[in-house]
A = this chain, B = another copy of it.
């Protein structure tokens, strides 16, 4: 069907419901350069203001998927994946994927890069010398079938509509639309062939979602869209007020993930990783409840099989597996600057977003996709909200190669911790699972 693009923009602008045929036309014509960028920008802004019904989001997701290639796995394979909406110190994928694979799930994980205050799994993987994340669809599938999982970036052939539209959203202030976020996330997770999907929907100072109400709106869209494609979706609403674990920064986080797979759990990463993998196991019918799932998960960590799976994929994806035993093979920062508390009391709040942005200054993160990273840069940060600290305590260590910037960042990170005399309770890590 041919439509007049202006009439479709008017229809969406005026709050009417677009048909699947209209949405499919608009996206396909845009990708063929028959609809110019400015009309797509206007169209996206109408989605921002008017939202969209489940059937419109499904149609959008479908048109995204149809813009590229799609992976298909045999019916019998338990293909599962996780998506995180992004946070500070979020290295969960690095533990979750090998654990799930060690338990017999197939995990075709497509990850992204860090931007702004949040890190990205691809960058953490590439901190491992030699690790390759760029594979064709066929090679990606072959890796998953052989090793039970693979950790790759989005290839040009997969959901090109999302890649192009995301770039436009980024420069037209249309990123923060639940409808558009849903189509962007779900198109990739459906195109990669996952039958079971768990979503870590993060809420708080280090996340994109400011509150549970907004997060639930998005979760509703994600679940409905997955279901319309026959995918089972569970959403874990998790607390992103304190950075996750201790490490924030690419090499530091990879090392923390390896330590985890050696059985050296941290309280928060343990709780989140276990909750997410458990949902995958339960959806896939591998575990009947959380308790049995947790026991299975502990077993593959503690018998070394998850770590072996990680070593296996590092080798398969051309990385140096010796990093697992020898952390000096990671890039090393020249300076390690202590971060000292200047007051005594309890941690009431942590501005995790400010920490993420501060670390961009030492190249642990980036502001633009073209910015270069310093894998060795980052910080180890110990106190969580509710912890008691004393003036002079070392609350963290900054790793960097630029001493002058480093001193600024040390102060910015210290200022991100709000300390008060009154006691403060520790916060729940998982709010709810739906």
Chain A interface residues toward B at CB < 8 A: 5-6, 9-10, 13, 36-42, 44-46, 48-49, 168, 170-174
Query: Whole-angstrom distance between the alpha carbons of A433 and B41 in the complex?
Result: 39
Residue from B13, B41, B48 in contact with A38 in the complex, judged by beta carbons closer than 8 Å: B41
Residues B39 and A9 in contact, CB atoms below 8 Å apart: no
Given contacts A42-B42, A42-B45, A48-B13, contact A172 B37 (CB under 8 A): no
In the complex, which residues of chain B have a beta carbon less than 8 angstroms from the beta carbon of A173? 6, 9-10, 13, 42, 46
Residue of A5, A48, A173, A174 ringed by the most chain B CB atoms within 10 A = A173
Which residue of chain B has the shortest Cβ distance to A46 in the bound complex?
Answer: B45
New A-B pairs, 6, CB < 8 Å, besides A6-B172, A41-B41: A5-B171, A13-B48, A36-B37, A36-B38, A37-B37, A49-B49
Q: Is there an interface contact between B9 and A172, defined as CB atoms closer than 8 Å?
A: yes
Q: Which residues of B contact A42 (CB under 8 A)?
A: 41-42, 44-45, 172-174
Known A13-B48, A48-B13; contact A38-B6, beta-carbon cutoff 8 A: no
Q: Which of B10, B40, B171 contacts A39 (CB 8 A)?
A: B171
Is the contact region of chain A dominated by helix, strand, or loop, or is it mixed?
helix
Closest residue on chain B to residue A9 by CB atoms: B173
Give chain B nearest CB distance to A178 CB in angstroms: 15
In the bound complex, residues from chain B placing their C-beta under 8 Å from that of A171 are 5-6, 38-39
Whether A39 lies near B41 (C-beta < 8 A) is yes
Nearest CB of B to A275, in Å: 34
Bound: A39/B171 CA distance, A? 7
A315 to chain B, nearest CB (A): 42
Chain B hits for A37, CB < 8 A: 36-38, 41
State the CA gap A174–B168 with chains docked (Å).
Answer: 19
Residue of B nearest to A10 (CB): B173
What is the minimal beta-carbon distance from A364 to any residue of chain B, in angstroms? 23
A sample of 17 inter-chain contacts (CB < 8 A) reads A5-B171, A6-B170, A6-B171, A6-B173, A9-B172, A13-B48, A36-B37, A37-B37, A37-B38, A38-B168, A38-B171, A41-B41, A41-B45, A41-B172, A42-B42, A42-B173, A45-B45
Chain B residues with CB below 8 A from A46, complex form: 45, 173
Smallest Cβ distance from A313 to chain B, in angstroms?
Answer: 37
Q: How far is the CA of A174 from the CA of B38 in the complex (A)?
A: 12
- Min Cβ gap A37→B in Å is 4
Question: Residue on B with the closest CB to A14?
Answer: B173
Output the nearest chain B residue to A170 by Cβ-Cβ distance: B6
CB distance from A174 to the nearest CB of B (A): 7
Give A396 Cβ to nearest chain B Cβ, in Å: 30
Whether the Cβ atoms of A172 and B49 lie closer than 8 Å is no
Measured CA separation A69–B41 after assembly (Å): 31
- The CA of A5 and the CA of B5, in the complex, are separated in Å by 25
Question: With A and B bound together, what is the CA distance between A363 and B13 in angstroms?
Answer: 31
Task: List B contacts of A41 (CB < 8 A).
Answer: 37-39, 41-42, 45, 172
